Chain A
């Protein structure tokens, strides 16, 4: 294992992660409210409200309601969005405005630990938010609005953590690249929005064109959404899970050294 990846397991990375957890724990009661309210509002507005106008449709040969289709997609979208946004926006604030990184880099913490600390924290937060969505989905299930297979649920959170790790490395890439905070909207509208929606999260992505097939085959968020959907709606493991895991691992392997290199140039002026 090269030093880029070994750093993930060093105490310094955990110390950086611990710093973020400490700050979050202090504000958890306010910080947890938006991720709790957002899925409730979205499920009610789109799943129940809009879904009321959409008749049951066939998904992989099974009749499903729009609410049932939406629920797994929201889980995938939450892990993706939270991790990406945290690694992009919040990390940028800490790097550039709060100078938290510089304060860490004059200790025994080095840049590779800061990078992993940010990635691990973004993934942890993405998983926490996804867990909150899971609790909301469980509430909808208990209320009789949703009928989900919960046997596969223990698999979902580790999978979402891996997904969030990968999307955090993507978020940090843009943290290293954006010229300033005014340019944050560029990755948001060029990456988050298209990837977030055109990935079988909020609506089925299907098509026979080679472009669509290639997009879906290489799109990790699509595989994640579909994999989670198979688990929760059919209680089945699917090839999407393996594809998602493979793509996420590839992202992590490729992006961590790149993030570190670009951030070394940005933060330290080296490279």
Chain B
């Protein structure tokens, strides 16, 4: 799997739209299906001499969700901020819908919507006022702004709270407002920085459904998350960062297979045979089994699993597919 810029997976099949409002005008779609909405290459960002982002590249097409994964401090948010223009890269280029961000930052920003990790809505305005006000930060102004705001309020289930101050909303509705704010000006590319952090399971599910609907509407989406199920469920492609560098790219299953292994074998760490398993792994050139709470985790490919079964057939163990949790543990172990 490549270490540099990734290529996109096939677009998911467009879902029927029904009566829902379109979030992106058809005329604003890319001219060719292969034209990336986001093309970032060789991004470098230093803070106080330390490379927070070191040569990262991203490629996103319309209707594709790219998940950006990594432990805390891996460079996810900085990469995102470089792409949406909050920060200026020390090296590298960012093109949004074919527009070089450095050459024409305003035109690039006009095509980008951002949902930040923290709630950055304007607490001096109501929910409706927030959407109207954010529309005033774009030129050309979103056409028929009031009608668009009304449609977004309805689509995101915010119409009942339209005249409330946003700080009176629950966490789930605040996130909805942040998402709606990011869409007022009809962007083609959406950045979501940990969009469900701190939400309860129901609210998370609602945000997932909204993100899924936006993907079906044809938006390119870049998302960072700590939640493994979220990344697996929403992302068509993953980029895994560690210490500011890309360590893997590709579809979630392929990334897991490459970095973690085909299977994860789980056995009780207190089992008397555990030392023998460790020794067997060492002798067969496998990585040291990871201790996770009371368990030992051992990543294996198909033949490896067969050899393990032949050697430790009497042992009680469980075999499961790798998850992104395993990937995170693996990355933490490496760093």
Contact = CB atoms under 8 A, between A and B. Distances in A.
Contacts of A235: none
B116 A104 contact: no
B291 interface: no
A109 B106 CA distance: 8
B87 A106 contact: no
A269 interface: yes
Interface residues of A, number: 22
Contact of A23 (B87, B124, B181): B124
Interface string B89-129: 00000000000000001100110001010111111110000
Contacts of B47: 269
Contacts of B88: 270
B134 interface: yes
B109 A103 contact: no
A212 interface: no
Contact of B122 (A11, A15, A18, A19): A19
Contact of A18 (B86, B110, B123, B136): B136
Nearest to B121: A103
A268 B87 contact: yes
Interface in A106-131: 106-110
A185 interface: no
Which of A98, A102, A106, A270 gathers the greatest number of chain B CB atoms within 10 Å? A106
A18 B136 CA distance: 9
Given A107-B134, A109-B137, A268 B86 contact: yes
Interface residues of B, number: 28
Contact of A98 (B84, B109, B114, B122): B122
Nearest to A97: B123
Interface string A26-64: 000000000000000000000000000000000000000
Interface secondary structure of B, over-half rule: loop
Given A19-B133, A98-B122, A268-B86, A106 B116 contact: yes
Contacts of B84: 106
A236 to B, nearest CB: 44
Given A100-B122, A102-B116, A102-B118, A107 B137 contact: yes
B208 interface: no
Contacts of A239: none
A213 interface: no
A18 B124 CA distance: 13
Given A23-B124, A103-B134, 16 more contacts: A18-B136, A19-B136, A98-B124, A99-B120, A100-B124, A102-B118, A102-B120, A103-B116, A104-B137, A106-B84, A106-B116, A107-B138, A107-B185, A108-B106, A110-B105, A268-B86
Interface of B: 47, 84, 86-88, 105-106, 109-110, 114, 116, 118-125, 133-134, 136-139, 181-182, 185
Nearest 4 pairs of A and B residues by beta carbon: A107-B137, A103-B120, A106-B114, A102-B120
